[in-house]
Amino acid sequence: MPTSNTSRARQTRKRTRIQVEKEEKILDGALEIFSRYGYRGATVDQIAQACGMSKPNLLYYFRRKHDIYVAVLRRTLTMWLQPLEEISEDGDPAEELTRYIAKKLEFSRTNPQESRLFASEIIQGAPQLREVLERQVHDLVEQKAAVLRTWAAQGKIIDVDPCHLIFMIWATTQHYADFESQIAAVLPNRGRDEVIDDAYAPLTEIFLRGILPR
């Protein structure tokens, strides 16, 4: 992914509050359109309409549809990685991982469109996120894998492959957003919130029983 800024407003040293609010409004509208039509099917006109802005006004902040799409993905990735960044080596493993699982489930509850759009990008080979995945995500996973290895060396958790543990947490928690339609079909009498609320205890128990020493 290009490392240059995707927003014209970001090219100034200091972004005003109005600029920040306008950009967020554009990204919110773009998320709706990209989620509905995909990158290829979405148009700048549709995004402008969803934002309640004129096309020229929108293009002042973002030059191309591609720039808007990349900004939406980057914003999603920032939110998605925040809970992982917060895992502390000094904390209790059970508490740290319980909190991480809870935050990942909450992300699936509150940001299902973001999660599905991100998943779609990954399934397509991550053409817009490849560089970020190979650097930012890779480095963060390595940092937290080192934390898990330290806990294992201290006898606080069993010796498991830390990267696969992280992948498993991603897979199970993101399932509730990415496969929401499947869940709704299988559990037609339960609402989204109820399903996610019910998922917290068993997921946490399964992971902790699997990695905590007995």
pLDDT, tens digit only, all 214 positions of the chain? 444 445 555 554 567 888 899 999 999 999 999 999 989 999 999 999 999 999 999 999 999 999 999 999 999 999 999 999 999 999 999 999 999 999 999 999 999 999 999 999 999 999 988 999 999 999 999 999 999 999 999 999 999 999 999 999 999 999 999 999 999 999 999 999 999 999 999 999 999 999 999 8
Spatial CB neighbours of 35, under 8 Å, sequence gap ≥ 6? 113, 116, 117
Structure tokens at 37: 């039509």
Show contacts of 39-48: CB within 8 Å, 24+ apart.
Answer: 39/65, 39/69, 42/69, 44/68
The class that CATH gives domain 86-211 is mainly alpha
Domain locations in the chain as residue ranges: 9-68, 86-211
Identify whether the C-beta of residue 207 lies closer than 8 Å to the C-beta of residue 101.
Answer: yes
Which of 160, 158, 140, 150 lies closest to 100, judged by CA? 140
Residue position matching structure tokens 């993905």 = 73
Identify whether the C-beta of residue 72 lies closer than 8 Å to the C-beta of residue 34.
Answer: yes
Length, in residues, of the chain: 214
Q: Which CATH superfamily is domain 9-68 in?
A: Homeodomain-like (1.10.10.60)
